[in-house]
Structure 1
């Protein structure tokens, strides 16, 4: 049986309690995934992270963590690269303590480099990060290279697949809205197109990327440069269409985590879960 989990990117907007009680709250409303947002820096203490991880385990909540936005592994400044590596390693430590299986991160920016030059710099830095994570004994923590939404960012589908092929601890994180925005609305438009993305990940990266497939979803506004802003699922004039993505995931039979990056976080995670349950019944999956 295919299992798709749903949860918010960050603390639920309708929850006013302490962070360590988020798993219990999510379970109470019917969600089963949580992406802890460390996008402004990894500030959670080890003890708090361990309590959060134990609570997530108790309530069967799949944990992930989003590393700081201030990461640019392809920077032309070595100091920036070193700080970026340190931030990623600190996020990996927090992930280990909170039993999160994946550290989601944005690889970097092209800036003055060609895409290939930027990729090469990021690859070198990631291999160094991987070496330190292994030496620290942070087992069962993967690095999730996210597909990015702007054309100026390192993180096309091709690039995150390549990184996952070349670095053992890296897997692709498929942000459907970002792929849609980066392609100016030409990808993530049909079931066959979404299936082709899933099949590429499965064929070119292998099983490590599907344990489970980690994804983000929301609708999005884009301009010629790509991503502008995430919007709610009820927005009729924007895409992508969640039902298209969900049908493809069910057809592919891939266990998946879908993190809601909608401005209304858990509310749209619940909307997606309802669509998933309807389609699962309809398709006999």
Structure 2
């Protein structure tokens, strides 16, 4: 199943070395071939270090993505807030471009006191400004708004698809966090085979084949409350969603995917999901 890649969100927990350059060979040794570089607090990597890391990742067959800082609110009414958010997202895209990361994953923002349609419009308008800046600087990495797990956040499936359609898939393609979709629905969308298939087909129908070739996926099990996401849990913890139906859909439909484990067990659960897919795939 070469068309499906697996990897952790950040540095593998079992890697004793703290050196960035030791990550790609270690991931290959484990049998993983993707990684999401976590810049979720702030972007803190030099151009030289990012370029070297990207070159090493390519040498070992590791496809990189980058997660931008959590401290973003592109929907904000306050100019200071959204302009600061745009600057942080620009720095993330710049670092991703240095290392050759193919996607920059980010959470779009919060509704706060705004109507959802107004918040969404704000996000789209401000991303349009950012894309113009990225193009002018020759930065080629693709922005990737993520489905979010809390009901107060901009980031329903329909919203991230609309953001991508408005900006254009040349510059913007969603990240589909299935745990977040599950938590945001408070378990009302169980994510069985039909649900997974419906979601992937919806993205393809609305945005075209490019948006699911590959589809960038975050996966873990998740605990939720009235407001949606509470915390992530390991695969097999007893919380939803179940990975096996997604594996079946990927095997049977031919969709390509990059699956990033956001489980607390990171690479261990990335390998568990890879094994699950291999057991379903035709021998």
* TM-score normalized by the length of structure 1: 0.96
Alignment-derived partner of residue 186 in structure 1: 188
- The answer on whether the counterparts of 2:200 and 2:212 sit within 8 Å (CA) in structure 1 is no
- Unaligned runs of at least 5 residues, structure 1: none
- The answer on whether the counterparts of 2:34 and 2:258 sit within 8 Å (CA) in structure 1 is yes
Q: Distance in 1 between matches of 2:68 and 2:279?
A: 33
Alignment-derived partner of residue 210 in structure 1: 212
Residues 195-244 of structure 1 deviation map (CA, whole Å, 9 limit, x = unaligned): 000001011011331231100000000011110000011202x1000001
Residues 104-132 of structure 1 deviation map (CA, whole Å, 9 limit, x = unaligned): 00000000001001001111110011111
Q: Distance in 1 between matches of 2:36 and 2:121?
A: 29
Q: Distance in 1 between matches of 2:213 and 2:248?
A: 19
Q: Distance in 1 between matches of 2:184 and 2:253?
A: 24
Q: Distance in 1 between matches of 2:51 and 2:185?
A: 40
Matched residue count: 280
Q: Distance in 1 between matches of 2:45 and 2:190?
A: 35
Q: Distance in 2 between matches of 1:107 and 1:224?
A: 21
Alignment-derived partner of residue 46 in structure 2: 45
- Structure 1 segments (4+ residues) deviating >3 Å: none
* TM-score normalized by the length of structure 2: 0.97
Aligned partner of residue 162 in structure 1, secondary structure: helix
Alignment of 1:1-285 (within 5 A): 3-17=3-17, 18-139=19-140, 141-168=141-168, 169-236=171-238, 238-281=239-282
Q: Distance in 1 between matches of 2:115 and 2:253?
A: 35
Q: Distance in 2 between matches of 1:208 and 1:122?
A: 22
